[in-house]
Amino acid sequence: MFTVGMSLVVLSLITLVLLAVEVRQYTAGRRLISRRRFVLRLAAGLLMLALLVAVFVGLFVVRLTDARGNLTVFMGYWFGCMMIAAVLVWVMLADMREVEDRFTQRQHEIWRDMARFIAEQPDVENRAGSGSAAGDKGPGDREE
């Protein structure tokens, strides 16, 4: 149980550090993400922290490791932890959808910029000065 307790404490500290980094980057003006994604990530971090603390409290403070004592309290507490985990998954899925939407938007912008760049290029045949492209043969195009 010591290993489980230490793991929960370490994961909580890592979550706090990642939340602090995310908030610091957003407030420092390095806004690589939208406000909605920032709020979703902040909510996910806080839910993760709440879940880790709830599991720690359930295991080590309240000692809800066995259902023999009071089944209602045992089931209610761990059901609450499962609900926090379910909401956390929902928030993470919403964040993933935001990331996917942004990726699709950027991909469309890149393709549009490439098409515009290609359309603005001068025509290769007119620039070379050759009258017809059908008569031009490359080094590997020989007749046998």
Mean pLDDT for the stretch of residues 99-108: 92
Contacts of 139 (CB under 8 A, 6+ apart): none
Give the domain extent around 57.
2-94
Tokens at residue 141, please?
């195009």
pLDDT at 105: 92
Residue 141 covered by a domain? no
Residue 120 covered by a domain? no
Mean pLDDT for the stretch of residues 10-37: 88
Does residue 129 have a pLDDT over 60?
no
For residue 41, the tally of other CB atoms under 10 A from its CB is 20
Contact 34, 98 (CB under 8 A): yes
Q: What does the alpha-carbon distance between residue 80 and residue 53 come to, in Å, rounded to a whole number? A: 12
Number of independent structural domains in the chain:
1
